[in-house]
Structure 1
Amino acid sequence: MTTTGIARSLLHGPWRAVPVLGVTQIIAWGAIFYTPVLIVPQIAAERGWSIAFAMGGFSLGLLTAGIAARTIGASIDRLGGHITMTCGSLAGALGLALITLAASPAAYYAVWILLGAAMGASLYDAAFASLGRIFGMGARRPITALTLAGGFASTVSWPMTHLLIDSIGWRGCYLVYAAALALVNAPLHAFLLPRTRHAADMPTPDTRATPKPTTLLPARGLIFLLVASAFASYAFVPSGLSAHLLAIFQRDGIDAGTVVWIGALFGPAQVIARLIEFAFGRDLHPIWIARAAFGALLVAFALLALTGITTLTAAVFALMFGGANGLVTIARGAVPLSLFGASGYGKLMGRLAAPFLLVQSAAPLVMAFVVEKISDAAALALAAAFAAVAFLCAILIRRPA
């Protein structure tokens, strides 16, 4: 599609889905996924709970999202993202409002179950499934474009959350985000997200005049298992490191202000990597994008192991980690599409999201156990081992001719 055609489609055609989902992804990630690191410790202190118990609610939410992923994906296939993602936004708004009232442990965990279902129906997996339904086999470029916007979620959310907490407290902050989900995300999904379904894999009547379609693999068997294992193994890395990496750097002698600056490199690095992929990667099979990302991450871990943690090596690691994560996010949507096709893509993404989210929910707790019982170095080695498994699985994946 030409630049003019894309610009026209942004207003009147299927490409309208990209800016719509770009806005809603920033708000949804910022409201539900990125806030716990700043708000949960305040909830724990106010209610007399341990931080581990309070953060366990977030882990339960991710577990719920994994369990619900297949059902949510099938719902997007059947009904469309304009319905399923609208419900997810409203569920998220209700959950954020209720968490301000959930004073008992049981109520608190029940609200996180609701928020977990909302995450499953609001974040990348649901957005990718919606784009697959709209664009069919042509969804790779819209997926990449969407991740460019989503990469700014943490950059926007953490400063905004900090400002809101200082101004109106954590309850007021969550109520503001609840209003954003209900009054911005839900209407955008309901009224502006395209409702069309793209018949991507349907052959034309005149088969003699058209080239033979790309061979697709069945979404089962060894290749499917390798794809699921690659991304599920990788899920341990960003989830575990996001909860512990900056603290590990600080315990290794880097001062707190520098650690914050190093952490800020992650977001821009993943956006830059996605821009490079969008500009130059269209002719490269997405499995190679995944291999390159996993390989770069292993190199980053090797750098830390061989040279030790210094300000320079920590900054380089943050840049390489951010770039790898930016590419893996694209590959999570593009690899299944290229290997297995667009038919039933929502359900397929749900099947792949389930193990990803389950590992993601367990990683912070496992890393915390290793840090406490063994050492920071052992925790980093464990994360590197999961990255190595992901890389090996990606190497073993053979795409169809």
Structure 2
Amino acid sequence: MFAPLVVALIDGLGWRGGYVVMAGILAAITVPLHALFLNGRWSDDAGSQSAAVSKAEVRQVTRTPKFIILQIAMAMATFTLFAVTINIIPLFLQRGMDYSLAAVALGLIGAGQVVGRIGYPQFARATSARTRTVTIFAIGAVSLLTLALVPGPAWLLIVVAVLAGAVRGCHTLLQATAVSDRWGTKNFGTINAVFTAPMTFVGAFAPVAGPALAGLLGGYPAMAMVMAVLLIGAVGLTTRS
């Protein structure tokens, strides 16, 4: 939602001036809030009441083919969705949009994430874990494929980008509930930490990998095409999880 405001700062002050203003806001608002109001003391209640984690029980889940396949599929979805949506501005610039409109599109992707998260609980109640995972990944693949192949008009590309944002929003909750939906909540913290570790890595790597791949392939639409194909592969893997 702040992307259009950042563009306005850059247009008015240049990127260096925009950075200085944002650093000033961070120093004047965020730092004092953390210094004055963040509770630095942690309760010991949770630690005293938690049961010992059984390594054998954890391994019975984390070393199964179903767990590993689902983990790979979720990591692929994280990588592809992040690589395209976070780099939507240069993609749309190559589609002929101006910088301000592309920034608005990035902000609307964030709004789409919120919509996806609001709608996810109703969808989850009506579907099985596998069905909703396949469906969400398939919609994401179609949206990335459309962004890769369709040159315009701008409004259509923005609508598709918002749809991709909604898929990202659903994916966040899908990732958070994948373990509990399939293996319950026993040893959830340990099992879920193992499950989400690859997603954390690729989520941090994707914003850099997207531009690097676009440079190798000659443009962001080609990068989006590769990501769409990878996400289609994730759909195939998910049908086995």
Q: TM-score, normalised by structure 2?
A: 0.77
Q: What's the offset of the Cα at 1:388?
A: 1.6
1:264 paired residue among 101, 107, 111: 107
CA RMSD of aligned residues (A): 3.2
CA spacing shift, 1:305–1:156, aligned 2, 3 Å? closer
Look up the equivalent residue of 1:253 and give its one-letter code.
G
Q: Is the 8 A contact 1:250 1:259 kept in 2?
A: yes
Q: What's the offset of the Cα at 1:351?
A: 0.9
Aligned residues, how many?
222
Look up the equivalent residue of 2:104 and give its one-letter code.
W
Q: Is the 8 A contact 2:84 2:144 kept in 1?
A: no
Map 1:288-307 to 2 at 5 A: 288-307=131-150
Q: In structure 1, list runs of 5 or more residues that go unmatched.
A: 1-154, 200-216
Q: Is the 8 A contact 2:61 2:183 kept in 1?
A: yes
CA spacing shift, 1:190–1:364, aligned 2, 3 Å? same
Look up the equivalent residue of 2:175 and give its one-letter code.
R
* Mapped partners of 1:261, 1:171: distance in 2: 22
* Mapped partners of 2:23, 2:132: distance in 1: 41
Match of residue 235 from structure 1? 78
Match of residue 169 from structure 1? 21
* Mapped partners of 1:285, 1:303: distance in 2: 27
1:187 and 2:39 correspond: yes
Q: Counterpart of 1:302 in 2: which secondary structure?
A: helix
Match of residue 29 from structure 1? none
Q: Is the 8 A contact 1:337 1:345 kept in 2?
A: yes
1:391 and 2:230 correspond: no
**Percent of residue pairs identical:** 18
Deviations 1:175-234 (A, max 9, x none): 3323334444x429947xx949699xxxxxxxxxxxxxxxxx833211111121011111
2:185 paired residue among 342, 361, 366: 342
Higher relative contact order, chain-length normalized (CA < 8 Å, sep 6+): 2
CA spacing shift, 1:157–1:251, aligned 2, 3 Å? closer
* Mapped partners of 1:187, 1:157: distance in 2: 31
Look up the equivalent residue of 1:187 and give its one-letter code.
N
Q: What's the offset of the Cα at 1:349?
A: 1.8
Match of residue 151 from structure 2? 308
Match of residue 287 from structure 1? 130
CA spacing shift, 1:198–1:395, aligned 2, 3 Å? farther
Map 1:1-400 to 2 at 5 A: 155=1, 169-175=21-27, 176-184=29-37, 186-187=38-39, 190=42, 195=46, 218-376=61-219, 377-397=221-241
CA spacing shift, 1:271–1:255, aligned 2, 3 Å? same
Q: Counterpart of 1:253 in 2: which secondary structure?
A: coil
